[in-house]
Structures are given as C-alpha cells and as structure tokens.
Chains A and B, each alone.
Chain A
Amino acid sequence: QEQLVESGGGVVQPGRSVSLSCAASGFTFSAYGLHWVRQAPGKGLEWVAGISYDGHDQYYADSVKGRFTISRDNSRNTVFLQMDSLRPEDTAIYYCTRDQAAAGTWGEFEHWGLGTLVAVSS
C-alpha cells in the first residue's frame, strides 16, 4: 500500500529555517515526480514545489522561489523541503504528494501524506 509520511514540522521564528522530510513506501519511488502542497489555516490548497523522478528538474511557486528548496534521495525513498527565511504567511499544513507523471508536470495527486504543521511565529 502506497504511503507518504511527513515529518519535521513545528514552531519556528520568522527568518529562521526548517527542513521537512517525506518518507515513501509501497511503490517505486524513483519512478514518480513528487510535490509539496500547503494549506494555511482556514484557506485553500497552494502548490509549493515539485521535483521530477530523477531530481533533475525542480519547480517552485513564486511565493517561495529563492527561499525554499526541494530535493530527493531515491536511495532513501525520501523527498525533502528546505525552508529558509520563513515568514508568518508560510504558516500552514504541508502535505507531501506523489504525481502520476514521472516528470512531475501533471498535478495528478492520487496519494497524499497526512501533513505536517509549520507555524512561523515569534
């Protein structure tokens, strides 16, 4: 059974950094694009970043470009999101999700993690 489990969330001060991880199991990890999608409290879904199956291509929302970095380790079946220069508006539940497209350019997200909460506050 396909499973995605996020970790690394918590409370962090503005301007600081945090790193999220998403451990995958139950499928051929290296065959799929992976993404991070966030949801601020009471708000809608916002796509944050995506990475191709081999890690060669990364994509970012304008709101996080230059501050967040997505990466993956196919030997560990894990995708990461390094979040730097955090702002209060980055406060959200961060979901890891798998794209059906290897290149990660469809947005076909059949499998989701339960999410991890990042709260940016002083």
Chain B
Amino acid sequence: QSVLTQSPSASGTPGQRVSISCSGSDSNIGNNYVYWYQQLPGTAPKLLIYRDNQRPSGVPDRFSGSKSGASASLAISGLRSEDEGDYFCAAWDDRLSGVKFGGGTKLTVL
C-alpha cells in the first residue's frame, strides 16, 4: 500500500471537469511540496504540476493543483481525449527520507 493514497480510477466525458485526490500525512504532503505527473501510454512520465499548484511552461491552464493540510488534488477542466492516461502524485517524505509516489489514477475519457 502506497504512503500516498490515490483512487485507482477516474473518468469523465469530453468537456467535463474531473478531480483526482492524493492523501498523505504530515511527513510528506503536510510538510513538503506536492507534484503531479502525467504518464500517457508508452511514454515517460511528464511533470504536470510542481510545488503544489504551479504549471510548467507548455502545460495548459486546464490543469490545476491544490493542497490543504496533508491532502492534495489535481483538477482537469475541459476534459479532452488526449488526457487519457495515468496520473501520479508525489512528495518528499521526511520520515522515510525519500520521494513517495501515489499508486496512480487511471483516467478514462468516455
């Protein structure tokens, strides 16, 4: 079981807004930055959100991140078919002295 907990799946229709949650603890999300990674089929992961709510250049503003206490969320608005893939949250864990990834959420665009 992952230190960071994500729902295994999420889905939506084109144009909808979906949210993916990530639950942790004080030793990781509660005290460190949260990152979100997108992995499309057959490709390396891509940084989607950094330092809780910042978007790297080139990432559409349809993607947004938020954090409250030891939980974080990734929201995707105006869902598109090309958003279909796996999404992982990550954070440094002070107690384990390492990076922890969530188990991943598989997003399906219906």
Given contacts A107-B91, A107-B99, A108-B33, contact A95 B45 (CB under 8 A): yes
Chain A CB within 8 A of B110 CB: no
**Shortest Cβ distance from residue B34 to the other chain A in the assembled complex, whole angstroms:** 9
* Central interface residue in A37, A60, A95, A108, by most chain B CB within 10 Å: A108
Complex Cα–Cα for A26 and B45 (A):
19
Question: Which size class do B's interface residues fall under?
Answer: 20 to 34
Pick the contact of A112 from B44, B56, B98 — CB < 8 Å?
Answer: B44
Task: Please give me the residue from chain A that is nearest to B106 by CB atom.
Answer: A44
Given the complex, which residues of A lie within 8 Å of B100, measured CB to CB? Answer: 47
Interface size class of A (residues with CB under 8 A): 20 to 34
Contacts of B50 in A (CB 8 A): 100, 108, 110
B62 in contact (CB, < 8 A): no
User: Cβ of B47 < 8 Å from any Cβ of A?
Assistant: yes
CA distance A114 to B43 in the complex (A): 8
> Given A44-B86, A60-B98, A115-B44, do A109 and B37 touch, yes or no (CB 8 Å)?
yes
Contact A113 B99 (CB under 8 A): no
Query: Do A45 and B44 touch (CB < 8 A)?
Result: no
Per-residue CB proximity of A93-122 to B under 8 Å, as 1/0?
001000010000111111011110000000
With contact pairs A35-B99, A45-B104, A46-B101 given, residues A106 and B44 touching in the complex (Cβ less than 8 Å): no
Contacts of A60 in B (CB 8 A): 98
CB distance from A94 to the nearest CB of B (A): 11
Contact pattern, A 31-60, Cβ under 8 Å of B = 1, otherwise 0? 000010100000011110010000000011
Closest residue of chain A to B46 (Cβ to Cβ) is: A112
Knowing A44-B104, A112-B44 are in contact, say whether A59-B35 is a contact too (CB < 8 A). Answer: no
Q: List 8 A-B contacts (CB under 8 A).
A: A62-B96, A95-B45, A106-B32, A107-B91, A109-B37, A109-B90, A112-B44, A114-B44
